[in-house]
Amino acid sequence: MAFLDHNGESEFPMNKGQVFEAMCMAIPTIKGMKIENADKLQGRIMVKAGVSLSSWGENIPIQLIEIGENKTKVQITSSPKTGIMFGGAFDMGKNRKNIEDILSATSSILQQQIEQQSNSQGQLPDYQPQKPQTYQKNTAMTTQSTQQQKKKSSWGKKILIGAGILVAIGVIANLGKDKNPDASTSTNESTSGSGSAESNKPKQWTEIFTLKGNGIKKSANFHLTGGKARMKYTYKTDMGLFSVYVVPEGEDIMKEGGIPEIMIEKSESSETYITKDAGNYYLSVNSSGGDWSIVVEEEQ
């Protein structure tokens, strides 16, 4: 038997986009699993597994991290939907098997794509996104465009000649004006100076919310403006799991699942940036032991 959450990771010699596409193809082929949501830009996939003889179901967040050119790390956590309460303390090895199945199915699809690529004389695998239609050339439009360019070229020459005459007239007119530009220059600098002083004022990190504790906790709501934000955290333990979710107000992490912003297994003091839309949120913290503290900050 295994205790609660299981973590696993693997590295693939492919770029993040290829691994993401392969994983989205592989997961639906695994019995009982479905993709709840997927964000290709952030490299996050949320998977849910259904009820079985050995489990009440699992939430499986996946994070893809590009660690080098054509090298991607995949981090997977499989957690029982019921948590420690209601029989979730032991999973009969189901969580570990979930991770192994996902990694194995993804690896198999990537291998097939590599073989197809080598057998098709360098063509891209089928799972790669197709080029937009805007890249295709239209020969009829090209011929018509060439004729239009010739007409435009003739008009362009006439416009340039006219513009040159206007510039010459403007220069002659300015010669008759007051040649002392100091007054107007100083006025412009004075006017723009006050505005630039405010716009160049450096932004500072401002504390928005703080939470401390031990074990599992759910915080009060706090507001984010949608700007640059981060979490500074400290976790102290000899051994244990520490995960933090930033959850929109009104959502239940136990019912709807989510991807943790922080997930570590040993003592650490660090920070992580978070990207959230403007709105109210709360922290859902899961710790199997040890003291922790979290500070949410925004750049203002």
Q: Residue 212: which CATH number?
A: 2.60.120.380
d(CA 214, CA 286): 9
For residue 187, being part of any structural domain is answered with no
Last residue of a domain, one of 96, 119, 142: 119
For residue 155, being part of any structural domain is answered with no
The verdict on 12 and 108 lying in the same domain is yes
Last residue of a domain, one of 99, 119, 139: 119
For residue 167, being part of any structural domain is answered with no
* 87-91: average pLDDT: 47
| Number of domains the chain is built from | 2
The verdict on 114 and 211 lying in the same domain is no
DSSP helix, strand, coil percent of the chain (3-state; round to 5): 35, 35, 30
For residue 1, being part of any structural domain is answered with no
For residue 224, being part of any structural domain is answered with yes
pLDDT digits (tens, 9 = 90+) for 123-158: 544 444 434 333 333 434 444 445 555 555 555 555
Higher pLDDT, 176 or 8: 8
Domain that holds residue 34: 6-119
Q: Residue 40: which CATH number?
A: 3.30.530.20
Question: Average pLDDT of the chain?
Answer: 77
pTM of the predicted model, to two decimals? 0.41
The verdict on 110 and 210 lying in the same domain is no
**Which of 75, 44, 47 minimizes the C-alpha distance to 59?**
47
Give the pairing type, strands 205-214 and 291-299.
antiparallel
The verdict on 115 and 10 lying in the same domain is yes
Last residue of a domain, one of 119, 134, 149: 119
The partner residues of 247 in beta bridges, in order of sequence, read 282
Residue pair 212/293 in contact by the 8 Å Cβ criterion:
yes
HEC string of 8-33? Answer: EEEEECCCHHHHHHHHHHHHHHCCCE
d(CA 178, CA 208): 56
Q: What is the largest CA-CA distance in the chain?
A: 95
For residue 131, being part of any structural domain is answered with no
Two tokens at 49?
């597994």
Two tokens at 161?
């000649």
* 29-37: average pLDDT: 92
For residue 61, being part of any structural domain is answered with yes
pLDDT digits (tens, 9 = 90+) for 212-247: 999 899 999 999 999 999 999 999 988 778 889 999
Helix axes 94-119, 16-26, angle to 10 degrees: 120
For residue 182, being part of any structural domain is answered with no
The helix or strand, by DSSP H or E, that contains position 105, with its residue range, turns out to be helix 94-119
The helix or strand, by DSSP H or E, that contains position 83, with its residue range, turns out to be none
